[in-house]
Amino acid sequence: MHDTLVKPVDSIVEFLSKAGPKPDFAVVLGSGVQVLDQLHNSRSYMYKEVFGIGPSVEGHTGSLTIGQLSAEPSPVVAIFRGRFHLYEGHDWSVVTLPTQVVTTWGIPKLLLTNAAGGLNKSFSVGDLMVVTHYRDHLNPKLKAERGLLDQLRMQPESCENGFSKQIQQVGKRLESEGLRPLQAGTYAALLGPSYETLAEIEMLRRMKADAVGMSTVPELLTARGTGTEAAAISVITNVWNDQPMGGHEEVLEASREASQRLNTLLKHLVNETSS
Ligand code: HPA
């Protein structure tokens, strides 16, 4: 909350653009996802300094780093570590703030990452899933923000674009070099913060959702129709089966392990999409 302290998007972009060149690529990192730890010629800010407020969820650092991928001339990347959630009581405008900064600044590519529960029984813990479709109208808050028309959408909505296809192509190539195959599928966004009941899991499966989480859809929708091409990758931190569920610690541990593979994928993507 404290949403009244949030700075206007234009002034945030002005502040950031005065300090250095516009990034070629932006990444939003979800719970426990750790990538691109060593950017070069970088500058870092705490969210509070940039946005006026910071996140309140464990595992979400709440910092922005902008820097080059390597010491040689290379693409400039902006890494937003942590996000604001609807379940924290934030408005849609705050939840989408990092994305609005990215689109307003005119950064061409935005990769959204999140921790998600696997619904698809062929998934394993630690899988990375490119989000090709989403379901949002199970979430009353998302529905309220987007209007009644959403109720008419009975099928998963596509969010495929050139960027999400490119991620899948790079994934295929890395697979031939030995990396675990990328999954692709439908992400269902629920409000949270508690995990799903078994009845909800069953319902989501019947609705053909492959993964479930509490974020990302507002950000994908915000980027749609702007000059920024956005795509999302879910880190599958747990798979819903007959085993008892672990807690937030288990989610963080699985995210850390999968982060290494995501890091490899990201470096390839940044280099290829920015050249
Ligand atoms: N459900 C919702 N959000 C999540 C999950 C889950 O099972 N795992 C990680 N984030």
Q: pLDDT of 183-240, one tens digit each?
A: 999 999 998 888 888 888 998 998 899 999 999 999 999 999 999 999 999 999 888 8
Find the CATH number of the domain harbouring 238: 3.40.50.1580
Boundaries of domain holding 27: 3-273
**Which of 238, 240, 248 is the best mutation target for the ligand 1 pocket, counting ligand atoms within 8 Å of the beta carbon and taking the most?**
238
pLDDT, one tens digit per residue, over 77-99 is 999 999 999 888 888 899 999 99
Residue 149's pLDDT is 47
Check if 188 has its Cβ closer than 6 Å to any atom of ligand 1.
no
CA separation, residue 25 to residues 77, 160, 163, 171 (Å): 5, 18, 12, 18
Q: Whose CA is nearest to atom 9 of ligand 1?
A: 116
Q: Does 2 participate in catalysis according to the annotation?
A: no
Catalytic residue selected from 31, 63, 114, 164: 31
Q: Domain count for the chain, please give it.
A: 1
CA distances from 97 to 51, 85, 86, 220, 265 (A): 8, 11, 12, 12, 25
pLDDT band with cut points at 50, 70 and 90 for residue 60:
low
CA of 178 to the centre of ligand 1 (A): 27
* CA 17 to ligand 1 center in whole angstroms: 35
Catalytic annotation present for 88: yes
Which atom from ligand 1 is nearest to the alpha carbon of 117? Answer: 7
156 lines ligand 1 (CB under 6 A): no
pLDDT at 112 over 90: yes
pLDDT at 268: 92
